[in-house]
Amino acid sequence: MNIIDAHLHFFPESLKFDQSAKQAGDQATIESLTAAMEKNKIVLGIGMGTTPTAGILQNPLILPFVKESWPSFFAQCLGVNADTITNINKRDVLSAFENKIKEPTTVGIKIYAGYQHFYVSDPVYHPFYELAEHYDVPVVIHTGDTANSQGLLKYSHPLTIDEVAVNFPRTTFVMAHYGNPWIVDATEVIKKNPNVYADLSGLAEGNFSVGWFFKNYHAYADMLVGWLTYLSRYDKLMYGSDWPLVNMGTYIELIKRIIPQEHHEAVFFKNAKRIFKKINVLPILNK
């Protein structure tokens, strides 16, 4: 079965990502990523535009590849660096996003709720939701726990997405990480709003055996299975790994245990093609 990884990261100059990769039994290099994707039949990865080097006021946040050397197995979501947006530069920022979003490899927009201290309903984000609607690309929003203690969880709670889903009904929103650990709240937001979907990235970290995980975290695993069963909308879920925070092969096996087998093809492949519509024109998916 071919797989689309709807949520991963690549920023080789980041010490944090390099350490995370080592903890997952991997390396944060393009060679290691390529090998892991080939081994696990991942035909496409959707990378999140990542925070740039400290001191660089970059907007949009993008993957560290130039057009001429762009890997054929990568697409990207443009990260919004809301901390740098002002009344003076906001038109230029939006114009930069629009120019970039026209590129075939740009397939969505990413909001770093929690890491950046704005509610997703803040007016600073409204033009990006409208831009996403116009170009028919989804807005991926970080939800749940943050990877550092400087994040503020009140901004990344999944319930915050309900308001923008209602106010921007023609924009598609993807709840990254299924709101973990607020699985119950995330389930209700997805169930209630027809324009809200979720990726299943970031539900575990590191490298482990799946049997060990279910034995030692059985209450957590049972909760995931239980609320996904309650939702029963496997058409609204996508596989994502959050690599390099987790070993790819291990995480695929984990999600396969959580998702009923009859829904594997949808969750691991077909749903991403429907939600991230632009990926369907990429050569890698048309071989």
- Residue 13: pLDDT band (50, 70, 90) is low
- pLDDT digits 0-9 by tens, 17-60: 667 667 767 777 888 899 999 999 999 999 998 754 444 557 88
Residue 153 to residues 27, 114, 128, 143, 161, Cα–Cα distance (Å) = 29, 6, 22, 8, 13
The least confident of 108-112, 182-186, 236-240, 243-247 is: 243-247
- In degrees and rounded to multiples of 5, residue 12 shows phi and psi of -65, -20
First to last CA, the chain: 15
Q: Do the Cβ atoms of 173 and 159 come closer than 8 Å? A: no
Query: Which residues does residue 116 pair with via DSSP β-bridges, in sequence order?
Result: 113
Percent share of the chain, pLDDT over 70:
93
Chain-centroid distance of CA 94 in Å reads 21
Residue closest to 146 by CA, chosen among 189, 118, 112, 103? 112
Distance in angstroms (rounded) separating the CA atoms of residues 83 and 157: 19
φ/ψ of residue 21, rounded to 5: -65, -40
- Residue 10: what pLDDT? 84
What value does the mean pLDDT take over residues 235-261? Answer: 97
Tokens at 211, concatenated: 């049997």
Q: Based on the number of CB atoms within 10 Å of its own CB, is 92 exposed (0-12), middle (13-18) or buried (19 or more)?
A: exposed
CATH topology of domain 3-285: TIM Barrel (3.20.20)
State the Cα angle at 23 between 158 and 46, rounded to 5°. Answer: 50
Task: Say how far apart CA 222 and CA 175 lie, in whole Å.
Answer: 21
Q: Which amino acid is at 108?
A: G
